[in-house]
């Protein structure tokens, strides 16, 4: 992984495998499930830092603000924005907006080379084909744009932290900070119903989300990001829908249906892809990051 290509590709593919576990955790309260996922991941990452002898690093105010922004925008707000946009108008619109992340990262990296812009455009076109163009309300569009800001922040705000903290500590600190934030969101959304004892299948699903999609994928991404830069690293997002189709299709017995995003809920009188707000805390049948399972074009971290 000296040049970062293998790590970035592996990280994005692992994020796409969320499709394979969507059915396991789809009925669990969504924000409570996210808090559980990050709690387990943070414990694992903190243990790893202890085993490796990585001591706590005192950060400057600027670095502390970057870490707080990374957690608040890149993890917590991203989850909320994806869920609420889906609740308002279904998954296609937010999937399409998030499909522009490779282009946004390429532009955010300064003056991108023409080849990089062309590559980002190809990835965006592929993601759009995977999700559909989508349509929705002004509310869902605003939430989708917020999710885009969160996704870009997940990478850009980590860059100034990585030279000093390294990928393991950035992952450990951000996931730890995200737990109480998501717990507050869960309480506001579902009250005390945000948590319940998971079934065996749900426990296995959360274990996969915490270990593979969070601990491993975060480490690989943050290891590769400074080597490639945000523009080149963002191109590998094109592997997410590929992994989603492969693993989602196998999980459904070979039928590669489109992966439904976080926040979709069954039942109710609204459009089947537009979950009712009043349903307390239950994620729908295909409920990523950065919700519990992945949009066809992007992760839910």
What does the pLDDT look like over 12-59, one tens digit per residue? Answer: 889 888 877 878 888 999 999 999 999 999 999 999 999 999 999 999
Contacts for 230 with CB less than 8 Å, ≥ 6 apart: 105, 106, 108, 109, 155, 156, 159
pLDDT higher at 54 or 252: 54
For 150-177, the pLDDT digits (tens) are: 989 999 999 999 999 999 999 999 999 9
DSSP H/E element including 141 = helix 138-156
3-state SS string over 19-79?
A: HHHHHHHCCCEHHHHHHHHHHHHHHHHHHHHHHCCCCCCCCCHHHHHHHHHHHHHHHHHHH
Tell me what the pLDDT averaged over the chain comes to: 78
Q: What's the distance, CA 83 to chain centroid?
A: 11
Task: Identify the band that residue 270 occupies on the pLDDT scale cut at 50, 70 and 90.
Answer: very low
Give the global pTM: 0.80
């Amino acid at each position: 992984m000296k040049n970062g290509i293998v790590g970035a590709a592996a990280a994005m593919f692992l994020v796409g495998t969320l499709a394979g576990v969507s059915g396991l955790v789809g009925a669990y309260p969504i924000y409570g499930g996210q808090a559980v996922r990050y709690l387990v991941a943070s414990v694992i990452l903190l243990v790893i830092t202890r085993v490796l002898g990585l001591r706590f690093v005192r950060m400057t105010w600027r670095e502390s603000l970057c870490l707080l922004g990374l957690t608040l925008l890149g993890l917590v707000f991203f989850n909320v924005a994806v869920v609420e946009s889906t609740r308002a108008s279904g998954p296609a619109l937010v999937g399409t907006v998030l499909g522009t992340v490779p282009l946004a990262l390429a532009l955010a990296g300064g003056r991108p080379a023409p080849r990089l812009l062309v590559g980002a455009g190809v990835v965006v076109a592929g993601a759009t084909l995977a999700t559909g163009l989508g349509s929705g309300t002004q509310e869902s569009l605003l939430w989708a744009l917020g999710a885009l800001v969160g996704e870009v922040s997940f990478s850009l705000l980590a860059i100034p932290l990585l030279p000093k903290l390294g990928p393991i500590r950035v992952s450990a600190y951000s996931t730890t900070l995200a737990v109480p934030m998501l717990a507050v969101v869960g309480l506001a959304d579902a009250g005390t119903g945000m948590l319940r004892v998971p079934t065996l299948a749900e426990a296995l699903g959360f274990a996969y989300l915490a270990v593979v999609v969070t601990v491993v994928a975060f480490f690989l991404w943050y290891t590769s990001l400074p080597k490639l830069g945000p523009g080149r690293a963002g191109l590998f997002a094109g592997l997410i829908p590929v992994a989603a189709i492969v693993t989602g299709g196998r999980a459904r017995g070979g039928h590669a249906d489109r992966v439904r995003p976080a926040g979709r809920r069954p039942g109710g009188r609204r459009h089947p892809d537009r979950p009712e707000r009043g349903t307390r805390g239950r994620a729908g049948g295909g409920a990523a990051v950065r919700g519990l399972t992945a949009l066809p074009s992007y992760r839910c971290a």
